[in-house]
């Protein structure tokens, strides 16, 4: 399936929106704690984990590093670059998104006792997380702020006219 067939919609997320959504996730997680620390899934979980660590006053932050995306193409295999010890008891796992569930499934196998939270979830990944804030359709590409930049756009008056 091509990228164009898989993602028919784009959901752009600004830095401000991501911060608000991560803070909203913190409110939900507050009542489920306390936690020993946070395990951020790198790279997407790093920014939300920083916001949540601040809001929950957690100073111990670990990372699990897994590679599964090349731009909008999700690779068929997940490469674990770094993991953590134990079964996750008392830990909070944070990621930006549960998409197809591939990464979430792998992390769940590694840390079955941790509480898994994501800011966004799609239907295929949603059953694998304990807590999330916003669900989007499976055919939506979430454009995170670290994957985009503000660029100058030529005003309409200066654009070439089409006949």
Q: Mean pLDDT, the chain, as a whole number?
A: 90
Residue 5 has a pLDDT of: 60
Residue 152 has a pLDDT of: 84
Binding-site annotation, residues for xanthine: 99, 142
Mean pLDDT of 65-92: 80
Banded model confidence at residue 134, pLDDT cuts 50, 70, 90: very high
Pair 102, 79: CB distance under 8 Å: no
95 is catalytic: yes
Catalytic residue among 21, 57, 95, 139: 95
| Per-residue tokens: 161 | 């006219």
Residue bearing the bigger pLDDT, 78 or 52: 52
Nearest in space to 96 (alpha carbons), one of 29, 143, 27: 143
pTM of the model: 0.84
Binding-site annotation, residues: 43-44, 95-103, 141-142
- pLDDT by residue (tens digit) across 27-63? 999 999 899 999 999 999 999 999 999 999 999 999 9
Catalytic residue among 5, 21, 57, 99: 99
| Per-residue tokens: 23 | 């803070």
Which CATH code of 3.40.50.2020, 3.20.20.210, 3.20.20.110, 1.10.10.10 fits the domain covering 3-158? Answer: 3.40.50.2020
Catalytic residue among 5, 21, 57, 96: 96
99 is catalytic: yes
Pair 66, 119: CB distance under 8 Å: no
96 is catalytic: yes
Element (H, E) at 97: strand 91-98
Residue bearing the bigger pLDDT, 53 or 4: 53
Would you kindly state where each structural domain of the chain is located, as residue ranges?
A: 3-158
Distance CA 36, CA 34 (A): 7
């Amino acid at each position: 399936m091509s990228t164009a067939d898989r993602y028919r919609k784009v959901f752009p997320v600004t830095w401000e929106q991501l911060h608000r959504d991560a803070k909203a996730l913190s409110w939900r997680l507050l009542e489920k704690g306390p936690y020993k620390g946070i395990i951020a899934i790198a790279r997407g979980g790093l920014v939300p984990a920083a916001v949540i660590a601040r809001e929950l006053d957690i100073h111990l932050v670990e990372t699990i590093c897994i590679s599964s995306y090349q731009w909008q193409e999700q690779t068929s295999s997940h490469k674990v670059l770094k993991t953590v010890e134990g079964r996750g008891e008392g830990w909070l796992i944070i990621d930006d998104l549960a998409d197809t569930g591939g990464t979430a499934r792998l992390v769940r196998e590694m840390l079955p006792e941790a509480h898994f939270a994501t800011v966004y979830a799609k239907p295929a990944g949603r059953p694998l997380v304990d807590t999330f804030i916003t669900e989007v359709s499976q055919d939506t590409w979430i454009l995170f702020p670290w994957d985009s930049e503000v660029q100058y756009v030529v005003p309409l008056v200066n654009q070439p006219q089409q006949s």
